[in-house]
Amino acid sequence: MKFKPFMGLHSGGVHLRYQGKKSKIQAEMEVWENGVKTKTAGMLSQSILERGTDTGKYAGDFIFSVKEEKNEKDTNGKYQITYGFVDKNGYSSSETMLDKLQNYTMQSTLQLNGAKTVADSNSTIVFGFQATDENGLTTYGSMEETIQKAKWAWSFGCRLLIKGA
C-alpha cells in the first residue's frame, strides 16, 4: 500500500461489493475487555442506493488507520483511529480517539485473509486490534473468537441496513 507511511503502523483496507435491497452500508467500532463488549466507540454509514432506483449497490473499500499518541500528561497514551468508505463517487470518513487503558507490552492487528461472503441479514468483522500487558498474544480460528478471548480488543464490523433502519 503506497500510502502506508502516512497512515500509521496499523492500517489497511478491505474491498466490499454488494447489490441488493439494502440502502445503507455501516461500520461500527466496538471495544472489548476480557471477552465483554464494553462500548460502541464510533459509527459511520452512507447511502448505497443507485440514483433513481430502490436498489442498493456498493463497490468500494473500507479503510482504516491507527496511530498511537502520547504526551507528557498522559502516561498511557491514546489511539487515534481514522476510518472511512471510499468508492468511485468519493468518500466519507470519521475519526475517534480511544484511551489506552494501560501500558500494553504487546499489540497486534486482526484482518481478513481472503474473500468472505456474508448474508444480507448479518454483519461481519472486517478489521480488529488486540493488546495485552502479558507475555503473549494468541490468535484463534476467527477474528470474532480472538476478540472475545483477548484481554483488550476493538473491532470494526460492517453491515447493510434497510432504508430508515
| Residue 148 burial (10 A CB sphere; 0-12, 13-18, 19+) | middle
Cβ atoms < 10 Å from Cβ of 6: 8
Residue 98, in any domain of the structure: yes
- Residue 164: the pLDDT is 45
Tally of structural domains, the chain: 1
152: DSSP letter: E
Residue 104, in any domain of the structure: yes
Strands 90-99 and 36-47: unpaired
Could you tell me what percent of the chain has a pLDDT over 90?
Answer: 9
Residue 19, in any domain of the structure: yes
Q: What is the mean pLDDT of residues 61-68?
A: 87
Residue 3, in any domain of the structure: no
pLDDT in tens, 86-141: 999 899 999 998 887 667 778 888 887 777 777 776 778 888 888 888 888 888 88
Please give the order of strands across the beta sheet that includes 123-132. 36-47, 24-33, 152-161, 123-132, 106-111
**Is residue 80 within 8 Å of 66, Cβ to Cβ?**
yes
Q: Which domain holds residue 152?
A: 10-161
- Output the CA–CA distances (angstroms, integers) from residue 108 to 46, 65, 80, 146, 152, in the order listed: 29, 13, 16, 11, 11
Residue 4, in any domain of the structure: no
pTM of the model: 0.81
Residue 26, in any domain of the structure: yes
Residue 49, in any domain of the structure: yes
Q: In the numeric block, which cell numbers belong to residue 136?
A: 503473549
pLDDT of 165 > 50? The answer is no
Residue 72, in any domain of the structure: yes
* DSSP SS3 for 62: strand
Gap between the Cα atoms of 22 and 165, Å rounded: 10
